[in-house]
Protein backbone atom coordinates (compact mmCIF):
# COMPACT_ATOMS: atom_id res chain seq x y z
CA UNK A 1 0.00 0.00 0.00
CA UNK A 2 1.47 3.33 -1.04
CA UNK A 3 2.46 5.72 1.77
CA UNK A 4 1.56 8.65 -0.54
CA UNK A 5 -2.07 7.62 -0.05
CA UNK A 6 -2.00 9.67 3.15
CA UNK A 7 -0.54 12.84 1.65
CA UNK A 8 -2.51 15.75 3.12
CA UNK A 9 -3.99 16.61 -0.31
CA UNK A 10 -5.33 13.09 -1.11
CA UNK A 11 -9.12 13.14 -1.07
CA UNK A 12 -10.98 11.26 1.64
CA UNK A 13 -12.98 9.55 -1.12
CA UNK A 14 -9.78 8.00 -2.51
CA UNK A 15 -8.55 6.96 0.90
CA UNK A 16 -11.90 5.33 1.77
CA UNK A 17 -11.88 3.49 -1.56
CA UNK A 18 -8.32 2.21 -1.36
CA UNK A 19 -7.53 1.62 2.29
CA UNK A 20 -9.41 -1.22 4.04
CA UNK A 21 -10.86 0.03 7.34
CA UNK A 22 -10.59 3.75 6.48
CA UNK A 23 -14.32 4.03 5.76
CA UNK A 24 -15.03 2.84 9.31
CA UNK A 25 -12.72 5.47 10.81
CA UNK A 26 -14.33 8.19 8.66
CA UNK A 27 -17.87 7.11 9.58
CA UNK A 28 -17.02 7.09 13.30
CA UNK A 29 -15.37 10.51 12.97
CA UNK A 30 -18.35 11.95 11.06
CA UNK A 31 -16.22 12.57 7.99
CA UNK A 32 -18.34 12.12 4.87
CA UNK A 33 -16.41 10.50 2.01
CA UNK A 34 -19.46 10.69 -0.22
CA UNK A 35 -20.79 14.24 -0.49
CA UNK A 36 -17.67 15.64 1.23
CA UNK A 37 -15.48 13.17 -0.63
CA UNK A 38 -13.63 15.80 -2.65
CA UNK A 39 -12.14 17.29 0.50
CA UNK A 40 -8.50 16.50 1.20
CA UNK A 41 -7.66 14.66 4.39
CA UNK A 42 -6.41 17.94 5.85
CA UNK A 43 -9.61 19.81 4.94
CA UNK A 44 -11.85 16.99 6.19
CA UNK A 45 -9.98 16.84 9.51
CA UNK A 46 -10.36 20.61 9.94
CA UNK A 47 -14.06 20.49 9.11
CA UNK A 48 -14.67 17.68 11.62
CA UNK A 49 -12.57 19.45 14.28
CA UNK A 50 -10.03 16.61 14.38
CA UNK A 51 -6.28 16.66 14.80
CA UNK A 52 -4.75 15.84 11.39
CA UNK A 53 -1.69 14.12 12.87
CA UNK A 54 -3.81 11.83 15.08
CA UNK A 55 -6.13 10.96 12.19
CA UNK A 56 -3.18 10.29 9.86
CA UNK A 57 -1.59 8.07 12.48
CA UNK A 58 -4.75 5.93 12.78
CA UNK A 59 -4.88 5.57 9.01
CA UNK A 60 -1.15 4.78 8.87
CA UNK A 61 -1.77 1.90 11.31
CA UNK A 62 -4.23 0.48 8.80
CA UNK A 63 -1.65 0.73 6.01
CA UNK A 64 0.93 -1.02 8.19
CA UNK A 65 -1.52 -3.82 8.94
CA UNK A 66 -2.90 -4.17 5.39
CA UNK A 67 -1.86 -7.36 3.67
CA UNK A 68 0.20 -8.50 6.67
CA UNK A 69 -2.19 -11.33 7.42
CA UNK A 70 -2.46 -12.39 3.76
CA UNK A 71 -1.04 -15.86 2.97
CA UNK A 72 2.52 -15.72 1.69
CA UNK A 73 2.25 -18.39 -0.99
CA UNK A 74 0.34 -17.36 -4.14
CA UNK A 75 -1.90 -20.49 -4.35
CA UNK A 76 -2.89 -19.99 -0.69
CA UNK A 77 -3.49 -16.28 -1.31
CA UNK A 78 -5.78 -17.03 -4.25
CA UNK A 79 -7.67 -19.63 -2.22
CA UNK A 80 -8.06 -17.06 0.56
CA UNK A 81 -9.45 -14.46 -1.90
CA UNK A 82 -11.93 -17.00 -3.29
CA UNK A 83 -13.15 -18.21 0.11
CA UNK A 84 -13.06 -14.96 2.06
CA UNK A 85 -14.29 -12.54 -0.63
CA UNK A 86 -15.71 -14.11 -3.81
CA UNK A 87 -17.85 -16.63 -1.90
CA UNK A 88 -18.88 -14.07 0.75
CA UNK A 89 -19.98 -11.45 -1.83
CA UNK A 90 -22.11 -14.04 -3.65
CA UNK A 91 -23.62 -15.27 -0.41
CA UNK A 92 -24.55 -11.80 0.83
CA UNK A 93 -25.60 -9.86 -2.27
CA UNK A 94 -28.83 -11.66 -3.18
CA UNK A 95 -30.11 -11.46 0.39
CA UNK A 96 -29.23 -7.77 0.68
CA UNK A 97 -30.89 -6.97 -2.65
CA UNK A 98 -34.13 -8.54 -1.35
CA UNK A 99 -33.85 -6.51 1.86
CA UNK A 100 -33.20 -3.28 -0.08
CA UNK A 101 -36.24 -3.93 -2.23
CA UNK A 102 -38.38 -4.49 0.88
CA UNK A 103 -37.13 -1.27 2.53
CA UNK A 104 -37.70 0.79 -0.64
CA UNK A 105 -41.19 -0.68 -1.09
CA UNK A 106 -42.37 -0.32 2.52
CA UNK A 107 -40.61 2.94 3.47
CA UNK A 108 -40.33 4.64 0.09
CA UNK A 109 -42.34 7.64 1.27
CA UNK A 110 -39.91 8.46 4.11
CA UNK A 111 -37.42 11.25 3.60
CA UNK A 112 -34.40 9.05 4.44
CA UNK A 113 -35.53 6.15 2.20
CA UNK A 114 -32.62 4.95 0.01
CA UNK A 115 -34.49 5.23 -3.29
CA UNK A 116 -32.53 3.60 -6.12
CA UNK A 117 -30.53 1.38 -3.76
CA UNK A 118 -31.95 -1.90 -5.09
CA UNK A 119 -31.07 -0.95 -8.66
CA UNK A 120 -27.53 0.07 -7.63
CA UNK A 121 -27.00 -3.17 -5.72
CA UNK A 122 -28.20 -5.24 -8.69
CA UNK A 123 -25.63 -3.38 -10.81
CA UNK A 124 -22.94 -4.14 -8.20
CA UNK A 125 -23.91 -7.82 -8.11
CA UNK A 126 -23.79 -8.09 -11.91
CA UNK A 127 -20.49 -6.19 -12.09
CA UNK A 128 -18.85 -8.34 -9.40
CA UNK A 129 -20.26 -11.61 -10.76
CA UNK A 130 -18.89 -10.96 -14.23
CA UNK A 131 -15.57 -9.77 -12.81
CA UNK A 132 -15.10 -12.65 -10.37
CA UNK A 133 -15.93 -15.19 -13.10
CA UNK A 134 -13.18 -13.69 -15.28
CA UNK A 135 -10.69 -13.90 -12.43
CA UNK A 136 -11.69 -17.46 -11.57
CA UNK A 137 -11.74 -18.78 -15.13
CA UNK A 138 -8.93 -16.81 -16.79
CA UNK A 139 -6.71 -14.64 -14.61
CA UNK A 140 -6.16 -16.78 -11.51
CA UNK A 141 -5.36 -19.97 -13.50
CA UNK A 142 -2.90 -17.91 -15.60
CA UNK A 143 -1.25 -16.56 -12.43
CA UNK A 144 -0.97 -20.10 -11.04
CA UNK A 145 0.64 -21.17 -14.33
CA UNK A 146 3.30 -18.47 -13.88
CA UNK A 147 2.28 -16.44 -16.95
CA UNK A 148 3.65 -13.23 -15.38
CA UNK A 149 4.82 -11.41 -18.52
CA UNK A 150 1.47 -11.88 -20.28
CA UNK A 151 -0.69 -10.63 -17.45
CA UNK A 152 -0.36 -6.86 -17.84
CA UNK A 153 -3.40 -6.47 -20.11
CA UNK A 154 -5.79 -8.79 -18.21
CA UNK A 155 -4.76 -7.07 -14.96
CA UNK A 156 -5.40 -3.65 -16.51
CA UNK A 157 -8.94 -4.79 -17.39
CA UNK A 158 -9.48 -6.18 -13.87
CA UNK A 159 -8.35 -2.87 -12.38
CA UNK A 160 -10.88 -1.05 -14.59
CA UNK A 161 -13.58 -3.35 -13.21
CA UNK A 162 -12.39 -2.51 -9.70
CA UNK A 163 -12.85 1.19 -10.44
CA UNK A 164 -16.41 0.50 -11.70
CA UNK A 165 -17.25 -1.44 -8.52
CA UNK A 166 -15.75 1.37 -6.41
CA UNK A 167 -18.00 3.90 -8.18
CA UNK A 168 -21.03 1.77 -7.27
CA UNK A 169 -19.88 1.70 -3.62
CA UNK A 170 -19.78 5.51 -3.69
CA UNK A 171 -23.32 5.54 -5.01
CA UNK A 172 -24.46 3.22 -2.20
CA UNK A 173 -22.74 5.48 0.33
CA UNK A 174 -24.54 8.47 -1.18
CA UNK A 175 -28.02 6.89 -1.39
CA UNK A 176 -27.85 5.69 2.22
CA UNK A 177 -26.47 8.95 3.60
CA UNK A 178 -23.29 7.19 4.67
CA UNK A 179 -25.20 4.11 5.86
CA UNK A 180 -26.79 6.12 8.67
CA UNK A 181 -30.13 4.78 9.87
CA UNK A 182 -33.08 7.07 10.60
CA UNK A 183 -34.37 7.18 14.17
CA UNK A 184 -36.78 4.29 14.74
CA UNK A 185 -35.62 2.31 11.69
CA UNK A 186 -37.29 -1.09 11.43
CA UNK A 187 -35.50 -4.44 11.67
CA UNK A 188 -35.19 -4.86 7.89
CA UNK A 189 -33.68 -1.40 7.42
CA UNK A 190 -31.22 -2.03 10.27
CA UNK A 191 -30.24 -5.46 8.93
CA UNK A 192 -29.80 -3.98 5.46
CA UNK A 193 -27.36 -1.26 6.56
CA UNK A 194 -25.49 -3.65 8.88
CA UNK A 195 -25.07 -6.10 6.01
CA UNK A 196 -24.12 -3.34 3.56
CA UNK A 197 -21.52 -2.05 5.99
CA UNK A 198 -19.76 -5.43 5.95
CA UNK A 199 -20.20 -5.92 2.20
CA UNK A 200 -18.79 -2.49 1.29
CA UNK A 201 -15.82 -2.92 3.66
CA UNK A 202 -15.20 -6.40 2.22
CA UNK A 203 -15.21 -5.13 -1.38
CA UNK A 204 -12.62 -2.45 -0.50
CA UNK A 205 -10.43 -5.05 1.27
CA UNK A 206 -10.83 -7.53 -1.61
CA UNK A 207 -9.78 -4.99 -4.23
CA UNK A 208 -6.86 -3.74 -2.12
CA UNK A 209 -5.56 -7.27 -1.60
CA UNK A 210 -5.59 -7.97 -5.33
CA UNK A 211 -4.18 -4.61 -6.43
CA UNK A 212 -1.47 -4.24 -3.79
CA UNK A 213 -0.44 -7.85 -3.09
CA UNK A 214 -1.61 -10.44 -5.64
CA UNK A 215 -1.27 -8.57 -8.94
CA UNK A 216 2.18 -7.01 -8.27
CA UNK A 217 3.40 -10.41 -7.10
CA UNK A 218 1.98 -12.13 -10.21
CA UNK A 219 3.66 -9.82 -12.74
CA UNK A 220 6.98 -9.99 -10.87
CA UNK A 221 7.28 -13.74 -11.61
FE1 LIG B 1 -11.37 -11.00 -6.86
FE1 LIG C 1 -10.82 -8.33 -8.63
* Domain-wise residue ranges, the chain: 3-65, 74-219
The residue-averaged pLDDT of 90-95 equals 96
Q: What is the DSSP letter of 186?
A: -
How far is residue 189's CA from residue 183's CA, in Å, rounded to a whole number?
11
DSSP 64-133: HHTTTTS-SSHHHHHHHHIIIIIHHHHHHHHHHHHHHHHHHHHHTTSTT--TTHHHHHHHHHHHHHHHHH
CA of 82 to the centre of ligand 1 (A): 7
Half-sphere exposure of 66 (CA within 13 A, CB side): 26
Give the ligand at the shortest distance from the Cα of 158.
2
- Predicted pLDDT at 203: 97
CA of 210 to the centre of ligand 2 (A): 6
> What would the pLDDT profile of 160-219 be if each residue is shown by its tens digit?
999 999 999 999 999 999 999 999 999 999 999 999 999 999 999 999 999 999 999 998
Which residues are in the CB-under-5-Å shell of ion ligand 2? 210
How far is residue 133's CA from residue 67's CA, in Å, rounded to a whole number?
23
pLDDT band at 6 (very low <50, low <70, confident <90, very high): confident
CA of 205 to the centre of ligand 2 (A): 10
CB 24 within 8 Å of CB 34: no
How far is residue 104's CA from residue 106's CA, in Å, rounded to a whole number?
6
CA of 64 to the centre of ligand 2 (A): 22
CA of 47 to the centre of ligand 2 (A): 34
Q: How confident is the prediction for the chain on average, in pLDDT?
A: 93
Determine the 3-state secondary structure of 16 from DSSP: helix
Give the ligand at the shortest distance from the Cα of 162.
2
CA of 105 to the centre of ligand 1 (A): 32
CA of 213 to the centre of ligand 1 (A): 12
* pLDDT top residue among 113 and 68: 113
- Predicted pLDDT at 2: 62
Which residues are in the CB-under-5-Å shell of ion ligand 1? 135
CA of 215 to the centre of ligand 2 (A): 10
The residue-averaged pLDDT of 38-48 equals 93
DSSP 142-177: HHHTT-GGG-HHHHHHHHHHHHHHHHHHHHHHHHTT
Q: Is 4 exposed, middle or buried (0-12, 13-18, 19+ CB in 10 A)?
A: exposed
Amino acid sequence: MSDTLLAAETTVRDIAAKLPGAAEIFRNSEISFCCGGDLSLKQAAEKAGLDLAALTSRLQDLIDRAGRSAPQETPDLIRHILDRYHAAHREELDFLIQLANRVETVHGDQEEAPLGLTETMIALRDELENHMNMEEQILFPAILNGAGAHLAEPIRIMNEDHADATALLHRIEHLTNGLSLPIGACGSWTALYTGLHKLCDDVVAHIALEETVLFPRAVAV
